[in-house]
Amino acid sequence: MAARLAGGVSQVRPLLDWTAADPTAPEPRKPSAGSGTCHGALLVAAGQLDAFLLLGAGPWDIAPLIPIVQEAGGTFSDLSGQYRTDTGAALFSRPGLHQQLLDIAGAAD
């Protein structure tokens, strides 16, 4: 999923090669509590990122970010485009970009 989105945009953070599929690579380390889990969504709210994809998150990780991003003019949904916090995935973005990212994310489904 991350590789599809990374391949459809001009720049990603962190600056990794998201398209290189290495089946032997270990799973990415989940950010420690209180650090990176919500940082990307807050950068969207601050206008410093266009979008942030959060995977493997619990509703408690996602729910507090929704009003912050929305009050700043941003958009939230899960990867199916629904307003749900129980799917483990959240996409926060500026409004004009949101549907395009959902289309890219679902392109190979």
Tell me how crowded residue 65 is: count the other CB atoms within 10 A of its CB: 24
Quote the pTM value.
Answer: 0.71
pLDDT digits (tens, 9 = 90+) for 81-102: 999 999 989 999 988 889 988 9
Question: Residue 62: how many CA atoms within 13 Å on its side-chain side?
Answer: 23
Please, is 29 exposed, middle or buried when counting C-beta atoms within 10 Å of its C-beta (0-12, 13-18, 19+)? Answer: exposed
Identify the DSSP state of 52: E
Structural domain count, the chain: 1
Q: Is the pLDDT of residue 108 over 50?
A: no
Amino acid sitting at position 46: A
Q: Is there a domain that residue 21 lies in? A: no
Domain range for 76: 1-15+50-109
pLDDT digits (tens, 9 = 90+) for 15-32: 555 555 555 655 555 544
Q: Is there a domain that residue 20 lies in? A: no
Q: Is there a domain that residue 55 lies in? A: yes
Q: Is there a domain that residue 103 lies in? A: yes
CATH number of 83's domain: 3.40.190.80
Q: Is there a domain that residue 100 lies in? A: yes
Instruction: Output the pLDDT for position 12.
Output: 59
Q: Is there a domain that residue 43 lies in? A: no
Instruction: Output the pLDDT for position 80.
Output: 92
Q: Is there a domain that residue 4 lies in? A: yes
Q: What is the CA radius of gyration of the chain?
A: 13
Q: Is there a domain that residue 70 lies in? A: yes
